[in-house]
Amino acid sequence: MEDLSHLRQSYEKSELSDAGLPEFPFELFAKWFNELRDFGKEPEINAMTLSTIGIDGYPKARVVLLKSFDDSGFVFFSNYESEKGQAMELEPKVCLSFFWPSMERQVIIKGSVSKIDDAESEAYFHSRPRGSQLGALASNQSLPVESRHKLDDRLKTLESEFEGRQIPKPEYWGGYKVQPESMEFWQGRANRMHDRILYVIEDGDWKQIRLQP
C-alpha cells in the first residue's frame, strides 16, 4: 500500500474572523471569489463539484462550471437528459462545493435546484463558441457510444449541416439555478484549527453559526 501519511500542509494564508462578516452569504461568496480572481493563482475559479442523489440511490459528484451568481442563486449549464439531469429531476436537492487551494478555502452550498427560463438558456447557448454549441448537439451526454470515431463523425456531419447557419439550441440543453438553503465557508488555519462559518436560513433570515473545525 502506498503510504501518503507524509503529505500534509499547514494552512496559514488567511483567516475568517467574526468581526465584519457580511449579513448575507452571497456577499462573502462574492468577496472570496473576487479575492481569488485578483490573486490569480487558481486555474479554474468557477469549477465546482455538483453532488446529486442518483436515481440508483447513490450520491454522485462531478465538476461543472459556475456561469453566474447573485443573491437569487448559482447558475450552471448542462444536458437535461444526462445522468445528473435525471437525478435532479427526481430529487431537486443538490450540493455545490468549491475548493480553492491557492487560498486554502472551501465553500459548500446546499440548496434546491430548478431549470432556468428557456430564453436565458437560449441566450447563453448562442454566446458560446460554435464548437461548444455543436458539441452539445453531438453528444447524448452520459449515454454509451460505440467509439470516439463515432462521436467525431457526428460532429463533422453537424459542422457541414449548419455551415453558415445559426445552430439551434437543443431542447434537452440548458441552465440550472441552485437556490441555497445553507452556505458554509471554510478557511484553512494552522494546527487544523480551521475557521468554519455556516450561513443557514432560519425563519426567512440568514443566520451565522461558527462550527468547530
- The burial of 191, by beta-carbon neighbours within 10 Å (0-12 exposed, 13-18 middle, 19 or more buried), is given as exposed
Helix (H, G, I), strand (E, B) or coil at 32: helix
Helix (H, G, I), strand (E, B) or coil at 13: coil
**CA 1 – CA 24 distance, rounded (Å):** 46
**CA 105 – CA 150 distance, rounded (Å):** 41
The reply to whether 179 sits in an annotated binding site is no
Output DSSP code: residue 10: -
Least CB distance to ligand FMN at residue 125 (A)? 12
The reply to whether 208 sits in an annotated binding site is no
* Per-residue binding letters, 101-130, with ligand FMN (x by CB under 6 A): ------------------------------
The reply to whether 206 sits in an annotated binding site is no
Give Cα 109 distance to the centre of its chain.
Answer: 10
The reply to whether 132 sits in an annotated binding site is yes
Q: Is 177 in the site for ligand FMN (CB under 6 A)?
A: no
Active-site residue (options: 37, 130, 192, 210): 192
Among the listed residues 163, 164, 169, the one whose alpha carbon sits nearest the alpha carbon of residue 135: 169
Q: Is 82 in the site for ligand FMN (CB under 6 A)?
A: yes
| H or E segment to which residue 105 belongs | strand 105-115
Q: Which is nearer to ligand FMN, 65 or 158 (CB)?
A: 65
Q: Using the rule CB under 6 A, which residue among 32, 74, 84, 137 binds ligand FMN?
A: 84
* Per-residue binding letters, 39-78, with ligand FMN (x by CB under 6 A): -----x--x------------x-xxxx----------xxx
**Residue 25 grid coordinates:** 452569504
Active site residue 189: no
CB 100 within 8 A of CB 36: yes
- The burial of 121, by beta-carbon neighbours within 10 Å (0-12 exposed, 13-18 middle, 19 or more buried), is given as buried
The reply to whether 77 sits in an annotated binding site is yes
Q: Is 143 in the site for ligand FMN (CB under 6 A)?
A: no
The annotation places the binding site at 8-11, 62-67, 77-78, 84, 106, 124, 128, 132, 141-142, 186, 192-194, 196
Binding residues for ligand FMN (CB under 6 A): 44, 47, 60, 62-65, 76-79, 82-84, 141-142
Catalytic residues: 192
